[in-house]
């Protein structure tokens, strides 16, 4: 058991030293299989090392929430501009044309909804994800939740055991309960636990001090968009995260609930891949919203 009497916060994050990539362009991935690297290369653009993921898995716990009532109307027009689509298998099979040829990050745990206590979930078999030609599988971790932390960590650990046999990346999604502090110390702890238990990508939230969260996590981090923000604020969130070393964004509501979702996802792409400032991204958004 770890000695908790002299537990000190990390302080030496080596922010002035770049991570040695050792031959493969994604952090922490070099020692994995060819198939694993191929899947990661679909999710993250090799020319930038970044990804704009479009998350629309909200319905698996929330039902037809605003913006995803009709996937065919709200999401399909956005898909061409995303690097990767994140959704549940039911929506992928019923609503997403296989001719889109987009990599899928498959929501792979389920079991509870917003009507009950969340995160009492079980995980999908990896062979089902392979049959859907998924490029990654995503599961939730509830770090700090006494009732579900151990179960969700075990879900990740067991899924990674299976996934490694198929060269399948696993993305761990850090849940934030109402009693959890949304600060760099918590997200650094949660992200590191995800990576230590085998996650090959971590999805977490941006916060002040995010550069330390990224530095102490040995695998790529993408940020969650979270609640709907004004368009410029959402672009500022993307920009700050990328400047701190995030490998991309996995946005949902800040795209599909935008006043012009098609323009917004392209503006996000400009910030993530093209190095646009938030103001330049917002200008792109305003230019596009008058034409799309």
Token output for 25: 């362009």
Sorted by where each starts, the structural domains of the chain and their CATH numbers stand as: 34-289 (3.20.20.70)
pLDDT digits (tens, 9 = 90+) for 62-113: 888 888 999 999 999 999 999 999 999 999 999 999 999 999 999 999 888 8
Is pLDDT above 70 for 3? no
User: What's the mean pLDDT in 134-146?
Assistant: 94
Token output for 65: 């929430």
Give the β-pairing of 122-123 and 109-110: antiparallel
pLDDT digits (tens, 9 = 90+) for 228-253: 999 999 999 999 999 999 999 999 99
The string of DSSP letters for 133-201 reads T-SEEEEEE-TT-TTTHHHHHHHHHHHHHHHGGGT--EEEEE---TTS--SHHHHHHHHHHHHHTT-SE
Q: Is 203 a catalytic residue?
A: yes
The residue ranges of DSSP E strands in the chain, in sequence order, are 51-55, 84-88, 104-107, 109-110, 122-123, 136-141, 170-174, 201-204, 221-224, 248-251
Which residue in 203, 227, 284, 289 is the catalytic one? Answer: 203
CB 43 within 8 A of CB 135: yes
pLDDT-based confidence at residue 58 (cuts at 50, 70, 90):
confident
Is pLDDT above 80 for 181? no
């Amino acid at each position: 058991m770890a000695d908790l009497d002299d537990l000190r916060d990390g302080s030496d994050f080596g922010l002035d030293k770049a991570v040695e990539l050792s031959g493969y362009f994604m952090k922490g991935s070099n020692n994995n299989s060819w198939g694993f690297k191929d899947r990661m290369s679909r999710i993250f653009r090799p020319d930038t090392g970044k990804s704009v993921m479009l998350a629309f898995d909200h319905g698996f716990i929330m039902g037809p929430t605003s913006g995803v009532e009709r996937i065919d109307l709200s999401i399909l027009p956005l898909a061409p501009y995303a690097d990767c689509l994140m959704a549940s298998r039911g929506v992928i099979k019923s609503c997403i044309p296989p001719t889109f040829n987009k990599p899928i990050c498959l929501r792979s745990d389920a079991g509870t909804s917003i009507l009950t206590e969340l995160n009492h979930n079980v995980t999908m078999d990896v062979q089902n994800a392979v049959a859907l030609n998924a490029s990654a599988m995503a599961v939730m971790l509830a770090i700090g939740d006494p009732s579900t932390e151990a179960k969700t960590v075990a879900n990740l650990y067991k899924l990674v055991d299976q996934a490694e046999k198929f060269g399948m990346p696993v993305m761990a999604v850090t849940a934030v309960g109402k009693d959890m502090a949304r600060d760099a110390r918590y997200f650094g702890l949660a992200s590191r636990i995800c990576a230590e238990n085998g996650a090959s990508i971590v999805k977490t939230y941006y916060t002040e001090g995010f550069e330390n969260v990224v530095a102490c996590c040995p695998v790529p981090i993408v940020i969650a968009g979270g609640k709907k923000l004004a368009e410029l604020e959402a672009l500022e969130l993307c920009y700050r995260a990328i400047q701190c070393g995030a490998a991309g964004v996995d946005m949902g509501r800040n795209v599909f609930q935008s006043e012009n979702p098609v323009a917004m996802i392209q503006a996000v792409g400009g910030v993530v891949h093209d190095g646009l400032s938030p103001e330049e991204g917002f200008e792109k958004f305003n230019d596009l919203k008058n034409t799309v």
